[in-house]
Amino acid sequence: MWLAAAIAVVALAPKLTATTDEASFLPSHYESIQAQNLQQRAFPQAATPAAIIVLERQDGTPLTAADSKRVAAVGQALSGGHIKNVTAVQTAPATGNKKIQIISVQMPKPEGAQGKNQTDAVKELRSALQDRLHGTHLKGGITGTAAQNLDGQEAGTKAEAIVGAATIGLILVLLLLIFRSPIIALLPVITIGAVSQIATGLIGWANDLFDLKTDSSVSSMLIVVLFGVGTDYILFLMFRYRERLRAGEDSRTAMVSAIARVGEAISSAAGAVIIAFLALVLSTLALFRSLGPALAIAVATTLLAGLTLIPAVVSLLGTKVFWPSKAWRQEPKGARFAAIGGSMGRHPGRYAAASGLLLAILAAFSLGFHSNFDLSGGSIPKGAESTVWQKELLKGLPAGATEPSEVYLRSTAGTPLAKAGLDGYKAKLAAVDGVGNVADPVLSKDRTVADFRVTLAEKPESSSAIATVKGPLRDTAHHAAPAGTTAVVGGITSVFVDIQAAVDHDYAVVFPVAAVLIMVILGLLLRSVVAPWYLMASVGLGFAATLGASVLIFQQLRGEPGLIFMLPVIMYLFVVALGTDYNILMIARLREEAREGRSPREAAALSVRHAGPTVAAAGVILAGTFASLMLAGGSTLLQMGFAISAGIAIAAFVMALFFTPAVTALIGHAAWWPGRVGGRPPAPPGEGTLPTPLARAGQEGRRGGAGGMP
The enclosing H or E element of 143 equals strand 138-143
Cβ distance 535 to 582 under 8 Å?
Answer: no
Does the structure show a pLDDT above 50 at 65?
yes
The string of pLDDT tens digits covering residues 25-44 is 677 889 999 998 898 888 87
Measured in whole angstroms, the distance separating CA 623 from the mean position of its chain's CA atoms is 14
Cβ distance 458 to 405 under 8 Å?
Answer: no
Whether residue 613 is preceded by a cis peptide bond, meaning omega within 30 degrees of 0, is no
Pairing state between β 563-564 and 371-372: parallel
Question: Residue 587's closest CA among 567, 615, 607?
Answer: 607
- Report DSSP letters for 441-465, one per residue: PEE-TTSSEEEEEEEESS-TTSHHH
What is each CA distance from 201 to 289, 308, 572, in whole angstroms?
Answer: 18, 20, 25
DSSP symbol at 18: -
Cβ distance 605 to 658 under 8 Å?
Answer: no
Which residues are within 8 A (CB) of 391 and not within 5 positions of it... i.e. 6 or more apart? none
Residue-level pLDDT at 218? 64
Q: Is residue 158 left, alpha or beta, with left meaning phi > 0 and alpha meaning psi from -120 to 50?
A: alpha
Measured in whole angstroms, the distance separating CA 21 from the mean position of its chain's CA atoms is 17
Residue-level pLDDT at 702? 38
Residue-level pLDDT at 329? 73
The enclosing H or E element of 613 equals helix 600-627
Predicted confidence band of residue 708 (pLDDT cuts 50, 70, 90): very low
The alpha helices in 100-181, defined as continuous H runs, are: 116-133, 145-179
- With b for 16 or more beta-carbon neighbours within 10 A and e for fewer, the 64-77 pattern comes to eeebbebbeebbee
Phi, psi of 110 (to 5 degrees): -55, 135
The string of pLDDT tens digits covering residues 250-303 is 888 999 998 988 888 888 888 888 888 888 888 887 777 777 888 888 889 989
| Terminal alpha carbon distance of the chain | 34
Helix/strand/coil (H/E/C) assignment for every residue in 77-96: HHHCCCCCCCCEEEECCCCC
Between CA 204 and CA 392 the distance in angstroms is 40
Between CA 404 and CA 407 the distance in angstroms is 10
Between CA 576 and CA 648 the distance in angstroms is 9
Question: Residue 624's closest CA among 652, 587, 665?
Answer: 652
The string of pLDDT tens digits covering residues 198-254 is 888 888 888 777 766 665 556 666 777 787 788 888 888 888 888 888 888 888 899
Give long-range contacts, CB 8 A cutoff, 24+ apart: 674-678.
674/527, 674/528, 674/529, 675/526, 675/527, 675/528, 677/591, 677/594, 677/595, 678/594, 678/597, 678/598, 678/599, 678/600
Between CA 297 and CA 313 the distance in angstroms is 22
Is 624 in a helix, a strand, or coil? helix
Average pLDDT along the chain: 82
Between CA 126 and CA 496 the distance in angstroms is 29
Cβ distance 438 to 401 under 8 Å?
Answer: no
Residue-level pLDDT at 179? 82
Measured in whole angstroms, the distance separating CA 551 from the mean position of its chain's CA atoms is 16
Pairing state between β 138-143 and 371-372: unpaired
Does the structure show a pLDDT above 70 at 687?
no
Measured in whole angstroms, the distance separating CA 1 from the mean position of its chain's CA atoms is 32
The string of pLDDT tens digits covering residues 100-143 is 999 999 888 777 656 788 888 999 999 999 999 988 889 999 98
Q: Which domains does the chain have, with CATH numbers?
A: 50-143 (3.30.70.1430), 151-377+497-677+690-703 (1.20.1640.10), 404-490 (3.30.70.1430)
Which residues are within 8 A (CB) of 184 and not within 5 positions of it... i.e. 6 or more apart? 175, 238, 321, 322
Torsion angle, alpha carbons of 185, 191, 194, 197, to 10: -80
Torsion angle, alpha carbons of 546, 552, 557, 562, to 10: 90
Highest-scoring range by mean pLDDT, 392-406, 484-498, 585-599? 484-498
Phi, psi of 450 (to 5 degrees): -115, 135
What is each CA distance from 124 to 99, 153, 155, 283, 284, in whole angstroms?
Answer: 26, 16, 19, 39, 38
Residue-level pLDDT at 693? 39
Predicted confidence band of residue 375 (pLDDT cuts 50, 70, 90): low
The enclosing H or E element of 436 equals strand 435-438
